[in-house]
Structure 1
Amino acid sequence: MADPWSKKNPFLSMMLSGANAWAGIARGIMSGQAKGQQAAAARQGNKQVADFWTSALTGGTPKRPRTSKKRR
């Protein structure tokens, strides 16, 4: 007698192929979102470092002159 567990099941094969396709799409979307968040964090960190060293080397941001005229 043939073993029923080793028989091919076309319905199960199609179902697993579809599930694998959906999993691949979801994995691609999640990895793309993660890469975008990492890039944004790196840009923000680089900007903070550049701002810190720029202000440290130049003595801070220049102050705006005060105006004595009152607006009505």
Structure 2
Amino acid sequence: MRQHLTTKLTPPDQVCAEVTPSVAGVIEKMMAKEVDERYATVDQLIEDLQAILTTGSPIHAQRAFDLDALERLDQKTTYR
């Protein structure tokens, strides 16, 4: 139980490469540990899913900037 409360969620798009970043953001919002970080209503979830279908980006589920991913990218990049 303690691990569930303290361990950070592995981003869904890192678990399955077929999951787009937009869909991963929606999944992360649905699985947020804090209630106030989840969708307030089913209507918000539906709006995000429809927005992904039409524009490619959700309205409510904005992913946090991943500094770990940026650091990994920086380590792979060769500067000249």
> Normalized against structure 2, the TM-score is what?
0.21
Q: Which has the larger radius of gyration?
A: 1
Name the structure, 1 or 2, with higher relative contact order (CA <8 Å, separation 6+).
2
Q: Which has the higher helix share?
A: 1
> Normalized against structure 1, the TM-score is what?
0.23
